[in-house]
Amino acid sequence: MVHLKLLAAIGYGLLAPVLAQGSLRYMPFGDSITELGCWRAEVWQKLQEAGGPAIDFVGSMNSQTQCSGLNYDRNHEGHAGFQAVNIANQNQLVNWLQSNPADIITMHLGTNDVLNGRSTNDIIASFDKMVDQMRASNPRMRIIVAQIIPLPFTDQLVRDLNVAIPAWAQSKNIAESPIWVIDQYEGFSSSDLGGDGIHPNAAGDTKIANKFFPAIVKAAQSLQAENYANERKAVGFSALSDIH
């Protein structure tokens, strides 16, 4: 597990060669914070500016949200009102991934669980099951898990969940399918939420996009590097062949 607080400092211009190598499939997965709003559109725009299109957004949902005129890739797997516990218990992610396979997934889930009084242990157990399902779908899945944005009226429960996420991710991390934790809570204030106190406003969407984008690029880099190494092995090259 890699905690990526500092990854946003990467210069976007340096990422273009990686992003230009080939198309990867990315699933934005979550609840209404993923389904609604414009952070996905902002991530898409950043990818274009960094040298894409190289990452195909996938999912059974197709967003109708209009975002500053951006003609962005609207596919995603965000489901308003859904709880992580129910998604895991009903094996819904299995079917979604069968229909729309992914190489990279971001997961911002747990808000509705907290609102409905689910315990931290139950939410983490659902994350555990869903990671297993992701890896059953794709053993090389790159998994990006968010520490979720604040809920001012029940903030301690959000904090409890967010505190538990890094240790859980460390316990589930494997080299073939790494987990990155992104702290979407830190630096996110009540002024970044809309009038309902739950969903991000435009400023909040930008903050979410700014944190997810470099993590998605990091995941793409690791997959492209692995693909390149495998291709070299397939044609009989090795690292030693580069030593003169």
What is the pLDDT, as a whole number, of residue 22?
56
Q: Is pLDDT at 239 greater than 70 in this prediction? A: no
Is 75 domain-assigned? yes
In a domain, 241, yes or no: no
Taking the C-alpha atoms of residue 64 and residue 35, their distance in angstroms, rounded to an integer, is 9
| Average confidence (pLDDT) over 7-19 | 44
Residue 152 lies in a domain: yes
**Confidence at residue 8, expressed as pLDDT on a 0 to 100 scale:** 40
pLDDT of residue 214: 95
> What is the CATH number for 144?
3.40.50.1110
196-206 average pLDDT score: 96
Q: Residue range 232-238: average pLDDT?
A: 60
pLDDT for the residue numbered 235: 62
Q: How many domains does the chain have?
A: 1
Report H helices in the chain: 16-19, 32-35, 39-49, 84-89, 92-99, 111-115, 120-137, 155-172, 202-234
Angle of helix 120-137 relative to helix 155-172, nearest 10 degrees, comes to: 40
pLDDT per residue as tens digits for the range 108-164: 999 999 999 999 999 999 999 999 999 999 999 999 999 999 999 999 999 999 999
Per-residue pLDDT reduced to its tens digit, 24-56: 999 999 999 999 989 999 999 999 998 854 799
Question: Does residue 240 surpass a pLDDT of 60?
Answer: no
> What's the pLDDT score for residue 152?
92
Average pLDDT over residues 182-204: 96
Check pLDDT > 60 for residue 89: yes
Res 241: pLDDT? 44
pLDDT band at 14 (very low <50, low <70, confident <90, very high): very low
* pLDDT given at position 68: 87
Grade residue 210 by pLDDT with cuts at 50, 70 and 90.
very high
- Give backbone dihedrals phi and psi of 68, rounded to 5 degrees, phi first: 50, 35
DSSP code for 150:
P
Burial string for 193-221 (b: 16+ CB within 10 Å, else e) reads: beeeebbbeeebbebbbebbbbbbbbbbb
In a domain, 242, yes or no: no
Is the residue at 239 inside a domain? no
Chain position carrying tokens 């399918």: 177
Structural domain boundaries, residue 39: 2-233
| Residue 243 included in any domain | no
Q: Check pLDDT > 60 for residue 5.
A: no
Coil, strand or helix at 42? helix
The residue length of the chain stands at 244
